[in-house]
């Protein structure tokens, strides 16, 4: 399937896929429409590059934060009640924050075991 995306890691073929349909905005970010596929763990890849091995949650989170220039403090601002950020940015911040929450729960579980 074709979606607007930014390549995160050329070697692995991982990409950050745009959510929504604001083509003009995605183009302004340098995104290009490419053939992509999603692996079973939810990671997006250039078509034909999806891995069967699982990338760690921490690696996925760090790469998404870096690719979107969206560390936790910035996501907090974007996702705050009354935020006026565009919907596409809020959706991406939510996607990253959901992954971060999952990662924090995993780390907390490891500490308590």
**Is 8's pLDDT higher than 80?**
yes
**Is 109's pLDDT higher than 80?**
yes
- The two structure tokens encoding residue 10: 């050329």
CA pair distance 9, 66, nearest whole angstrom: 11
Eight-class DSSP state of 29: T
Mapped onto helix, strand or coil, the DSSP state of residue 28 is helix
**Is 53's pLDDT higher than 80?**
no
**Is 86's pLDDT higher than 90?**
yes
Give the global pTM.
Answer: 0.57
What confidence tier does 50 reach under pLDDT thresholds 50, 70, 90?
confident
């Amino acid at each position: 399937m074709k979606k607007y995306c930014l390549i995160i890691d050329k070697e692995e073929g991982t990409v950050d896929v745009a959510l929504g349909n604001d083509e003009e905005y995605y183009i302004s970010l340098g995104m290009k429409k490419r053939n992509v596929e999603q692996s079973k763990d939810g990671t997006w890849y250039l078509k034909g590059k999806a891995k069967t091995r699982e990338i760690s949650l921490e690696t996925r989170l760090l790469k998404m934060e870096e690719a979107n220039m969206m560390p936790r403090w910035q996501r907090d601002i974007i996702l705050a009640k009354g935020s006026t950020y565009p919907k596409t940015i809020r959706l991406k911040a939510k996607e990253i924050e959901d992954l971060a929450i999952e990662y924090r729960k995993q780390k907390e579980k490891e500490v308590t075991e």
